[in-house]
Amino acid sequence: MATFSKLRSGNWRAQVRRKGRYASQTFKRRRDAETWALETERRVDRGESISSTRPDHIKTFADLIDLHIADMHEVKKPLRRSKAYSLHKLKTHLGTSDFNNLNRQNLIDYGRFRAKEGAGPVTLGSELSYINTIITHAAAVHGISVSKEPVDFARVALRRLGLVGRGIERDRRPTQSELDAIFEFFEGNARQHIPVARIVQFAVATAMRQAEICRIRWADVDERRRTVIVRDRKDPQKKDGNHQRVPLLDLTGYDAWALLQEQKRVSHNHELIFPYNGRSVGTAFRRATRSLGIEDLHFHDLRHEATSRLFEAGLSIERVALVTGHKDWKMLRRYTHLKPEMLFSDQERLRPA
């Protein structure tokens, strides 16, 4: 079956999918695209090769990236924000090169440049993986052959330079005095229309991420069970449709259900419980920590804090996972930064009477 799409350049892109085979080509006129598509379908039916019918406008690495993005949109898999940002960086710094000239040194130079910009080992590793994905996609879908060997060598070199690798696990937990200072900062600011203090408390109560808090809906609240559905929850194996019903507990020092009822009085019947831009919430949080002189505290650290408090409250790993959404219980270990002083209370509880 042939499909036709008009590109921003004004050209027409024809794509043929027939009997498990795929080909695409770009033309200035739709009529030419239709003629080519019909002939390509006939070639498939005759069992002839169509691998040579590569889009002739594909010359640079940026063209390969655009081809990948267009195909993802066509199958209704648009890029998420982090991948879109990384592909933009790749296009900006590597896009003008002929894709056949993409070499090890170019990639190493790119890695060093991104590291100077502040990209960490995990981010840079992901961007190299995206390059591999784009090259594999071009070969598998469009018959465009590009060697992946330079990418593999560059990854080895950048790993040896310490620029690619596993991320450093954070163990930063806010103190209660830091949290209280943040609450006072926002509650004393009459110009702050976003209830950041309540959102921070809700984050510590639920272990939800910043974006998840600003995405939950009143329609997904079950008042009888005191739960809310978090839709499309982050999952490395399943990007969409990963919905989870999360209990709204009172185990971390903050009552999630009470905070929800408090928010209901000010949400003005909006479909979202917290109808605010997640980035704006993050910006406000960073402004508060800077103003208060609180160093190295990120909003995501509140998720760590919440998870640790759930363990400190005595919940088992499987029960904590029902709140946090972790599918792999091993991942919860990095969040269980229990305070040493908690062992004294355990000692008293376990001491024979």
Question: Which positions are annotated as active-site residues?
Answer: 209, 239, 300, 303, 326, 335
Instruction: Name the token pair of 210.
Output: 């910043």
Given a contact cutoff of 8 angstroms between Cβ atoms, the answer to whether 34 and 4 are in contact is: yes
Task: Measure the CA–CA gap between 227 and 209, rounded to whole angstroms.
Answer: 16
Q: Tell the burial category of 8 from Cβ atoms under 10 Å away from its Cβ (0-12, 13-18, 19+).
A: exposed
Instruction: Name the token pair of 72.
Output: 């993802």
Instruction: Name the token pair of 37.
Output: 């598509």
Given a contact cutoff of 8 angstroms between Cβ atoms, the answer to whether 24 and 14 are in contact is: yes
Long-range contacts of 113-117 (CB under 8 A, 24+ apart): 114/89, 115/163
Task: Measure the CA–CA gap between 70 and 3, rounded to whole angstroms.
Answer: 13
Given a contact cutoff of 8 angstroms between Cβ atoms, the answer to whether 263 and 274 are in contact is: yes
| Single-letter amino acid code for the residue at 201 | Q
Residue given tokens 């997640």 in the structure block: 278
Adjacent-strand bridge partners of 227: 222, 247
N residues, the chain: 353
Range 69-85 burial, b when 16+ CB lie within 10 A, else e: bebeeeeeeebeeebee
Adjacent-strand bridge partners of 4: 14
Adjacent-strand bridge partners of 228: 221, 246
Q: Is 203 helix (H, G, I), strand (E, B) or coil?
A: helix
